[in-house]
């Protein structure tokens, strides 16, 4: 179909959408257009049902809920890890549902960062999400190194993206470990994970990825590519709720590597309750768990992953690319002359699941959008992130959102707001 900036065209796209029926799975507020699923995904009816199921098991079984009921808690992290594995192209035993993104970064960096001789530095990038940088600086300090000299942050050439060749060029013999995002959180750039992993390994460097902004939106093949480790949250595209339990991946070639941070839930299941002070680690990614799993916080993931299994990552990626491309076409057609710039890569193979719309008045434009019942996402200093999520956003909503934004700019209603972010942006 040839692009048209009409509502009729948007409706036609919705009629042809093979994932359209999944929209009914989610709680969508009437009259509200939700474009912030890359920050917090919407609640699904199955996620709600899973929470209620685990509450019921607590009410019914008490302590026996660890081994009884529909979803015994003792094995839940491993089972959900196995269900997440297809989303990143990993083997079931390489994934575990546990911790939070930051906790899991600390766990895996403390495990795989082993400075020796000249290999003492950690590489990241200057556009990375702050928590990753905070954690890496902490790990360097714990080893007695100054982050100012031992944390390499690859510079961006344009303030939006990172050139993979710059990363590769900086892979010197003093680099011990690399941690990069799969998708940059502001611009939505998708890095070439396979290429970067290959280049790192040729130089004897351990490499891991933060997949918070790609899992559930972009399919990966971590095991095939030989990625050493990865972390991610589950509350964005995976729709598992605010603060829900995160996930981590460790390539099976590293099984048996002693976790940097040990806790009893990293034990072999059959040995955990021996209560021995000499720990026998699990021989899977489960070894990198620490404390007791947050059962009620992981519960929504049960229902959410059922939806992903039915929808399939290939179909999700196909629609994500199509609907973000459609949004960009509308922006170029309808918002020309209003001072907007598209800050994300235009090519499909370099783009994640959201559109990065830049404007010098971004903060106040976001406030005006919310007044018009459009939920966007602001990122300092000038980014409006818009995420039409494949499972629940319709093309007609995207069309309507752009019309509301066009009205805001035409009538300049954004000028009544201050151009500064709220406490939570």
Q: First-to-last CA distance in the chain?
A: 37
- Residue 258 burial (CB < 10 Å; 0-12/13-18/19+)? exposed
Contact 284, 93 (CB under 8 A): yes
- The length of the chain is 425
Count CB atoms within 10 A of the CB of residue 198. Answer: 14
**In the numeric block, which tokens belong to residue 183?**
């998708």
Token pair, residue 102, equals: 């930051």
* Binding site listing for pyridoxal 5'-phosphate: 101-102, 129-132, 210, 213, 235, 264, 292
d(CA 142, CA 261): 13
Angle of helix 45-61 relative to helix 295-311, nearest 10 degrees, comes to: 140
- Do the beta carbons of residue 182 and residue 218 sit within 8 Å? yes
DSSP string, 160-204: S---HHHHHHT--TTEEEEEEESB-TTT-BBP-HHHHHHHHHHTT
Residues 6+ apart with CB under 8 A from 329: 3, 5
Binding site listing: 101-102, 129-132, 210, 213, 235, 264, 292
Enter the DSSP assignment of 414: G
Q: How far apart are CA 105 and CA 109, in angstroms?
A: 6
């Amino acid at each position: 179909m040839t692009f048209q900036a009409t509502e009729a065209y948007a409706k036609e796209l919705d009629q042809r959408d093979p994932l359209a029926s999944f929209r009914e799975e989610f709680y969508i507020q009437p009259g509200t257009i939700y474009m912030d699923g890359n920050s917090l995904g919407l609640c699904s009816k199955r996620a709600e049902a899973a929470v209620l199921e685990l509450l019921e098991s607590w009410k019914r079984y008490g302590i026996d809920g660890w081994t009884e009921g529909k979803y015994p808690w003792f094995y839940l992290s491993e089972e959900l890890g196995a269900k997440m594995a297809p989303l990143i192209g990993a083997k079931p035993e390489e994934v575990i549902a546990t911790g939070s993104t930051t906790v899991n970064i600390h766990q895996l960096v403390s495990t795989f960062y082993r400075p020796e001789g000249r290999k003492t530095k950690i590489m990241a990038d200057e556009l990375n999400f702050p928590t990753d940088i905070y954690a890496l600086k902490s790990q360097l300090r714990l080893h007695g190194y100054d982050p100012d000299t031992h944390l390499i942050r690859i510079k961006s050439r344009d303030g939006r993206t990172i050139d993979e060749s710059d990363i590769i060029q900086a892979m010197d013999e003093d680099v011990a470990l690399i941690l990069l995002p799969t998708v940059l959180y502001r611009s939505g750039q998708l890095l070439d994970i396979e290429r970067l992993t290959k280049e790192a390994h040729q130089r004897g460097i351990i490499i891991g990825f933060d997949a918070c902004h790609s899992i559930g939106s972009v399919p990966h093949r971590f095991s095939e590519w030989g990625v050493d480790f990865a972390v991610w949250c589950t509350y964005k595209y995976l729709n598992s709720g605010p603060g829900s339990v995160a996930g981590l991946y460790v390539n099976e070639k590293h099984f048996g590597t002693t976790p940097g941070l040990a806790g009893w839930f990293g034990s072999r299941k059959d040995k955990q309750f021996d209560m021995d002070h000499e720990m026998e680690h699990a021989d899977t990614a489960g070894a990198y768990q620490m404390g007791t799993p947050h059962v009620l916080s992981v519960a929504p993931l049960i229902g959410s992953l059922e939806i992903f299994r039915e929808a399939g990552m290939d179909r999700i990626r196909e629609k994500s690319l199509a609907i973000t491309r459609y949004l960009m076409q509308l922006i170029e057609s309808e918002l020309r002359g209003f001072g907007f710039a598209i800050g994300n890569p235009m090519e499909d193979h370099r783009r994640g699941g959201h559109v990065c719309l830049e404007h010098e008045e971004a903060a106040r434009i976001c406030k005006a959008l919310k007044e018009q019942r459009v939920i966007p996402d602001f990122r300092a200093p000038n980014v409006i992130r818009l995420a039409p999520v494949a499972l629940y956003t319709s093309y007609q909503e995207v069309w309507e959102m752009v019309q509301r934004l066009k009205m805001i700019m035409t009538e300049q209603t954004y000028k009544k707001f201050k151009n500064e972010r709220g406490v939570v942006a």
